Amino acid sequence: MPRALITGGSAGLGLALATGLAERDWDVVITGRDETRLGEAARHAGDRVTAVAGDVTDARHRAALVEAADGGLDLLVNNASTLGVSPLLPVLELDDQVLVDVWQTNVVAPIALTRALWPSLHVGGAVINITSDAAADHYETWGAYAASKAALEHLTLTLAVEQPDVRWWTVDPGDMRTQMHQDAFPGQDISDRPLPESVVPAFLALLDQRPPSGRYQASDLVPARAGA
């Protein structure tokens, strides 16, 4: 059976994608910082999903994930991300440590994890790095997060040139009803945003169609979702 590892798997898109892959008979390792929450997520997602709790910015946890991937991987999804602070702040009001923390989680950790898991990734496999429309557009107060996603996109597409035996995709899932989105808009009603489960078909279509490495939007992979 194909095997995947998904970071940020405790909730939201990570959990929805793990569940969707397990329903297709993938074996999936999910990781997240809260051991209790991650364990509950794995039980929710089914018998094919294994939880390995920890922080992807921690090199010891990344080593544990390499051990969990023993036997090889067909897919790595770097989904774990942070906004840094909530409510979001203008660039000149950001503390330096916030910038460092955002960079560590959103840029350094996914590249370091990819490097650590590289020997485990099968030829013909794929890496999906989750991005955002904020990486391409400029929204007031989104600077730290947006810049980190732009950097992740650039590194991903450079990897596509350097390591062409694997597909390298960045995917913008669009707005979703997640805790991160709520943190970005504290106190606002986000109940009109689609659930993370609604974009899983787009990711499955990506894996089925295997287009060239590049940047994709979930709404383009499954156009019908645009009206959902």
The residue with tokens 């950097």 is 151
Q: Is 139 a catalytic residue?
A: no
Distance CA 62, CA 13 (A): 21
Q: Which amino acid is at 60?
A: R
Tokens 């794929």 locate to: 126
Cβ atoms of 163 and 115 within 8 Å: the answer is: no
* Phi, psi at 65, each rounded to 5°: -70, -35
Given 145, 169, 203, 216, the catalytic residue: 145
CA distance 203 to 29: 17
Q: What three-state secondary structure class fits 52?
A: coil
CB 147 within 8 A of CB 138: no
Active site residues: 145
